Each structure stands twice: as structure tokens, then as C-alpha cells.
């Protein structure tokens, strides 16, 4: 399979895939996230044969344990068509998100990763911090982070 085309998309275009993959049993408005329309926020889509097959967003947002930082970026709403998992689309999206954050002076990226996806994040340089926690109605998650000084 060829590498996906990654391009910027408006927040509204992330929502059908976010809903289908991340929160199918919740109302569609649950995938409208705070900060989606902020000027610093970037939404990326992965395309295969002109079809949107993956989405991810990065927000300039400090992690929960930080007093304040403008160099941290949060990865959120990452979703890939389940039939294409393991095909490199998610990794391409994540790398593009990290590159964007790095290009904006970012030094740290973080996310609340689903427990089932921690291997994916670890393979791309993320580390776990703290214990697993439950997000009601969504499932078990872990806080994961990585520095952005080096490419990976």
C-alpha cells in the first residue's frame, strides 16, 4: 500500500471519522472538542485513493500537571479507519502532527491514549506517565508524552 497523502482539513471534516471510530455510542456532538476552532489548532487528514481514512488534531495546550507552558502540544481525536489499522496511515498522521508542533516551537507532545493504542504510541517515541485511568463512557486511558527535539 502506498503512503497516504497527509493534508490540513477543517475541524468539521474530522468529526465523522472521530465519531465512527472513537465514540460510536455517543452523540455526534461529543466529538466537537474544546479548542477545535482555535487559531493554533491544526487538523490533519490521511487520504488513500482520495478517501479520508484517518484524522488527528494537535492543540497548543499544556499537559494537566503543568502550571503553564506554551511549548506543549496535545494530540487528540486521532482515528483511522479500522480496516486500515497497521497500514502506516496512523504513523504518518502522528509524524505530521509532531512535525507541525515542532515547527511551531513545540518541545513536548502529549495525549490521553486509549490503553489499546499504547503500543502504537510507544513505537513512535511516546512514554507512559502515571497509572491508567478510566474516561467514563470511553474506556481505559494512559497519559503519554514525548519530547519533540529530535525527529523519529
Q: Do residues 123 and 138 make contact, with C-beta atoms less than 8 angstroms apart? A: no
Q: Do residues 98 and 63 make contact, with C-beta atoms less than 8 angstroms apart? A: no
Domain 5-147: give its CATH code.
Answer: 3.40.630.30
Q: Chain-centre distance of CA 105, in angstroms?
A: 18
Residue ranges per domain, the chain?
5-147
For 51, the enclosing helix (H) or strand (E) is strand 51-60
| Pairing relationship of beta strands 72-80 and 127-135 according to DSSP bridges | unpaired
pTM, full prediction? 0.91
Helix (H, G, I), strand (E, B) or coil at 135: strand
b/e sequence 133-144, b meaning 16+ C-beta within 10 Å: eeeeeeeebbbb
Take residue 48 and report the three cell numbers written for it.
Answer: 488513500
pLDDT in tens, the chain (152 residues): 578 899 999 999 999 999 999 999 999 999 999 999 999 999 999 999 899 999 999 999 999 876 667 799 999 999 999 999 889 999 999 999 999 999 999 999 999 999 999 999 999 999 999 999 998 888 899 999 999 975 44
Amino acid at each position: 500500500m502506498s503512503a497516504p497523502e497527509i493534508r490540513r482539513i477543517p475541524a468539521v471534516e474530522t468529526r465523522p471519522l472521530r465519531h465512527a471510530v472513537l465514540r460510536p455510542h455517543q452523540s455526534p456532538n461529543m466529538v466537537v472538542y474544546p479548542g477545535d476552532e482555535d487559531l493554533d489548532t491544526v487538523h490533519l487528514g490521511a487520504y488513500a485513493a482520495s478517501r479520508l481514512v484517518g484524522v488527528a488534531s494537535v492543540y497548543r495546550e499544556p499537559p494537566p500537571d503543568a502550571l503553564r507552558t506554551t511549548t506543549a502540544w496535545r494530540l487528540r481525536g486521532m482515528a483511522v479507519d479500522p480496516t486500515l489499522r497497521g497500514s502506516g496511515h496512523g504513523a504518518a498522521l502522528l509524524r505530521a502532527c509532531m512535525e507541525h508542533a515542532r515547527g511551531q516551537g513545540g518541545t513536548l507532545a502529549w495525549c490521553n491514549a486509549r490503553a489499546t493504542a499504547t503500543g502504537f504510541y510507544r513505537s513512535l517515541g511516546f512514554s507512559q506517565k502515571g497509572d491508567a485511568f478510566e474516561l467514563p463512557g470511553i474506556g481505559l486511558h494512559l497519559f503519554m508524552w514525548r519530547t519533540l527535539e529530535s525527529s523519529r
